[in-house]
Amino acid sequence: MRSLAALVLLAALARPAAAAPLRAEGAWFRYLLSSIPAGGYVTLTNPGPATVVLTGVASPACGSLMFHRTDSQGGMERMVAVPRIRVPAGGRFRFAPGGYHLMCDAPHMHRGQTVPVTFRLAHGAPLVVRFAVRGANASGPRASAPAPARMKSQ
Amino acid sequence: MSEPRPPPARGYALVGVLFAVLLFAAGGFLWLSGRRGDLLGGPFRLENAAGRTVTDRSFRGRYMLVYFGYTHCPDVCPTTLANVAGALHELGPAAARLAAVFISVDPARDTPAVIGRYTALFSKRIIGLTGTPAEIARVAGEYHIYYKKHPTGPGKLDYSVDHSSLLFLMSPTGRFIAPITASSSASELAAALRRLM
């Protein structure tokens, strides 16, 4: 808990001396009940010339937060924890329904709120992204999401 | 200039051939669907959100869309249920002919009260069912659903459940009609249901 607080403080102090290495878009949690995990989704874009490696993730709104992937094979779904995420140079990484997602255990948040999520980077200052908290039938961060929820085809 | 019309005899022959093909296809479909009806599904006895016993016969007279999952599933199950809720909305009045049923493969955590609160978040029309481990094993077996606990931590309740993720459409008499891919969007799901119901 203390390391989390330190991390959040560090993130708050880490004013962008240099441009942030990643850009985050469309960040949202599907919040259901406080007793069950909430799935988080976001698209991270890396405009820089080097791969950015994410080594972990944390949020004061989650008991624990992890990178996860839904592994889908022949109609079988399996959740797999993923230790690190690589956002390629000049490319992007999508956490999207049916694929990679953030698994927020013991969520304490409520719909309509935004909550901070801190991504730890292998090199450089952590990245803090605000996630919109949406309800069961949401398909994106805004109420008028243009496209219906569609899982990433595997 | 329009093309010259085919002579009438050729036209009739073409219609005849098309008719024969259609008849053959329809026959094949009926034969196959008749046979398929026995391949999947079967009697079950489960509990609804109110803790009352519900069986497969409770849904006779309505089509039944069956999906197996669990409430602690953070990604695929809620995405699928959100799309089922969206499809029910798109179907409008036709949705009254359909019972959308969510059966838990995690009876230890998904009590009737939990599954009821969960499905109601998506749609009041989605019926959440759970049961004893033996009841769940039986109905999962009938639908050829594989499910297995997968530990994620040291605690007794730290696990996810690997499971088959497919939607099944059953007829008003309880026969299997078709599987529908769980990754369908709400509109794709509504279109598939319109076609099959």
pLDDT in tens, chain A (154 residues): 556 565 555 555 554 445 678 999 999 999 999 999 999 999 999 999 999 999 999 999 999 999 999 998 877 889 999 999 999 999 999 999 999 999 999 999 999 999 999 999 999 999 999 999 999 999 999 875 444 555 654 4
Average pLDDT value for chain B = 87
pLDDT (tens digit per residue) in A106-130: 999 999 999 999 999 999 999 999 9
Tens digits of residue pLDDT in B86-133: 999 999 999 999 999 999 999 999 999 999 999 999 999 999 999 999
The full DSSP string for A53-71 is EEEEEE-TTEEEEEEEEEE
User: Which chain A residues touch B if contact means CB-CB below 8 Å?
Assistant: 30, 32-33, 35-39, 68, 70, 72, 75-79, 81, 97-98, 101, 103-104, 135-139, 148-151, 153
What is the C-alpha separation between A130 and B28, in angstroms, rounded? 55
Residue-level pLDDT at A152: 55
ipTM value of the model? 0.81
Q: Considering only the top CATH level, what class is A2-15+24-134? A: mainly beta
Nearest by CB to A149, from B72, B82, B114: name it: B82
Q: Is the pLDDT of residue B71 over 60?
A: yes
Partners of residue B117 in chain A, C-beta under 8 Å? 33
- Which CATH code is given to the segment(s) B45-196? 3.40.30.10
**What percent of chain B is helix, strand and coil (3-state, nearest 5)?**
45, 25, 30
Task: Answer whether A76 sits within 8 Å of B162, measured CB to CB.
Answer: yes
**Domain extent listing, chain B:** 1-36, 45-196
Residue A72 has a pLDDT of 85
